Amino acid sequence: MSDPLLATAEATEHPFSASVRTPAKLYAISDLHLSFKTNRAALEELAPRPDDGLIICGDVGETPGHLRLAFSKATSCFKQVWWVPGNHELYTLPSEDRGGEGAVEGHGGGLRGVAKYDECVRVCREWGVLTPEDEYITWPPPNPSSPGDAEEAARPEAESVLIAPIFTLYDYSFRPANVTLEGAVEWAKEEGIEASDEVMLHPDPYPTRQDWCAALVARTFDKLDAVTTANPDKKLVIVGHWPLRQDLVKILQVPRFCIWCGTTKTEDWHERFNAKVVVTGHLHVRRTDWRGETRFEEVSLGYPRQWKEAMEQGLDVNDMLREILPGPEPPADKDKTIWRRFG
């Protein structure tokens, strides 16, 4: 039996249909956490949707092997796949964290910080998966098999959006006003909360995670600003791992984990950059929210225990995908969160 981690991109054939017979849909999921056997088995149940797109919002796993496993399956099922990094992809595992000495083959070679992220991007490019390093593309794509097709020509321009994958990290600014930056981690520790990031997510070559975050935010802002300036009438689907807004971070069991969940510098990006939808993960709390005309989707699968109830109801990974486009109509009460156990 062949090892799926050793599969190559060249061996994968995309089952693209010759023409789009129904409107293409866009789905999303995050936090697959393929270090868990249950989640790896669940991934194998992913069903083909050859005309549709899939967004993977980070935390696939900790190693390049986890990425290859996810992309091998996802690219065989979907027309286009996007990926953004989560904190887990950026981890340097303890067995690797000796400057490459003692690193496990296929597990990132002890790379840290920006170098670890760059390795993930290289894996994405093996499989044709789009990342924050790529140009934003239009979705749904035009039908290349029949550019003069009347149905294609009649598609309303408003239906197409730009998919904008971003990488912003966090800077401990999601904290109460009375907690200082210097005291943020100790404040979380007071309730027994400390993210593994403090040990395994290195900011190299930046001095701190806050510095890396600041550089990422500035770079991403410029890219989004240029795209929206050039396309003032085009809506965006902004795709990232960390929430853009602090008011959408509600983790009742570990509320002080909020300091590792984003940056206040992105608070107004959904308005500034004309977002139709913002798609994120990280929280393992599945939900849909509205802020003004923008829909916010948290699409985490999570650890096996966190979607155990769905499995017990006979649901699988296909039921856990969130439809991003065309998506639901706005509810009458936009102030109400829709909590998602599945779908």
C-alpha atoms less than 13 angstroms from C-alpha of 42 in its C-beta half-sphere: 27
Taking the whole predicted model, whether its pTM rises above 0.95 is answered as no
Give the per-residue pLDDT at 6.
28
Give kind and range of the element (H or E) at residue 151.
Answer: helix 150-153
List of the chain residues with pLDDT < 50: 1-20, 99-108, 146-148, 150, 152-158
Give the per-residue pLDDT at 156.
45
Domain boundaries, the chain: 25-143+159-328
CA neighbor of 57 nearest in space, from 156, 143, 129: 129
In the numeric block, which tokens belong to residue 82?
């996007």
Give the per-residue pLDDT at 206.
98
CA neighbor of 125 nearest in space, from 255, 270, 260, 8: 8
- Give all strands (DSSP E) within the chain, no chain letters: 26-29, 49-56, 78-83, 137-139, 161-165, 236-239, 275-280, 287-291, 294-298, 322-325, 338-339
Give the per-residue pLDDT at 268.
98
Give the per-residue pLDDT at 97.
56
Architecture of domain 25-143+159-328: 4-Layer Sandwich (3.60)
Query: What 3-state DSSP class applies to 82?
Result: strand
Give the per-residue pLDDT at 9.
32
Give the per-residue pLDDT at 142.
77
CA neighbor of 165 nearest in space, from 142, 141, 137: 137
Give the per-residue pLDDT at 144.
58
